[in-house]
Amino acid sequence: DAGITQSPRHKVTETGTPVTLRCHQTENHRYMYWYRQDPGHGLRLIHYSYGVKDTDKGEVSDGYSVSRSKTEDFLLTLESATSSQTSVYFCAISGQGGQPQHFGDGTRLSIL
Amino acid sequence: ELKVEQNPLFLSMQEGKNYTIYCNYSTTSDRLYWYRQDPGKSLESLFVLLSNGAVKQEGRLMASLDTKARLSTLHITAAVHDLSATYFCAVELFSNKLIFGTGTLLAVQP
């Protein structure tokens, strides 16, 4: 299995609080991604990174920011969480085009 | 707007039967992936299709890609209960970005 660790695995927090999710990889892969999964929507890309300090927006980036200061770590931050951001968040990694993305175990985030 | 549409969204089938899941997409791409997800679990890569006419098989599952028709199929042969899961197709864009379909929930009944 690809070495991807997401933390925390579960989190419950209140509206308006900041939240940071961490994705850590041991594969030295160039590309890292954050998705959210909601019923009826499949997986939707939030942000992705193609190298250290190189990030770009996905299709549902509003309300989220990311940072990648090291190859192995990709952080997703909700600056002021809202109930609409309650979801399951997956991190994924890939080495290059034509290779499948490998996914972490997910973080279940509930915002009350 | 890029769309990746799967159908059916839900499939209930009996063990031993055959069926096909369809994945249509609206942009030019030569790369398509199929994933499986069990309830409460992560996504597992099943197939990587990298060119027009590509066909991959693993056990009772076979995937194919027609880039001209912008269509991929996942064919299930003689279904067994262990194949019950949600199946996603995903189309690759630049920077290895994937756009996922909404998924097909497969329930195989004994």
Going by DSSP bridges, is the β-strand pair B85-92/B32-37 parallel, antiparallel, or unpaired? Answer: antiparallel
Is A48 in Cβ contact with B45 (below 8 Å)? Answer: no
Question: Which one of A99, A107, A108 would you mutate to disrupt binding with B, by most B Cβ within 10 Å of its Cβ?
Answer: A99
Q: Is A45 on the interface with B (CB under 8 A)?
A: yes
The CATH number that applies at residue A21 is 2.60.40.10
A48-52, B46-50, B91-95, B105-109: which has the minimum mean pLDDT?
B91-95
The count of domains in chain B is 1
Distance (Å, whole) CA B107 – CA B79: 10
Q: What average pLDDT is seen over chain B?
A: 94
In this predicted structure, what is the pLDDT of residue A66? 98
Structural domain total, chain A: 1
Give how far B70 is from chain A: nearest CA, Å: 17
Q: What is the dihedral of CA A79, B42, B106, A84, to 10 degrees?
A: -10
DSSP states of A4-54 as a string?
EEEE-SEEEE-TT--EEEEEEESS--SEEEEEEEETTTEEEEEEEEEETTE
Inter-chain touch A59–B31, beta carbons under 8 Å: no
pLDDT of B29? 85
pLDDT at A39: 87
Q: Give me the amino acid identity at B37.
A: Q
Is the peptide bond preceding residue B8 cis, with omega within 30 degrees of 0? yes
Give the domain range for residue A45: 4-111
Contacts of A58 in chain B (CB under 8 A): 97
pLDDT tens, position by position, for chain A (112 residues)?
Answer: 569 999 999 999 999 999 999 999 999 999 999 999 998 888 999 999 999 999 999 999 999 999 999 999 999 999 999 999 999 999 999 987 788 999 999 999 999 9
Q: Structural domain of residue B59, as residue ranges?
A: 4-109
B99 and A59 in contact by Cβ < 8 A?
A: yes
Of A101, A20, A105, A28, the closest CA to residue A67 belongs to: A20
State the pLDDT at residue A2. 63
Which pLDDT tens digit goes with each residue over B28-81? Answer: 888 999 999 999 999 999 999 999 999 999 999 999 999 999 999 999 999 999
- The pLDDT value recorded for residue A1 is 54
CATH number at residue B32: 2.60.40.10
Contact call for B102 and A41, based on CB within 8 A: yes
The Cα–Cα gap between A14 and B12 comes to 39
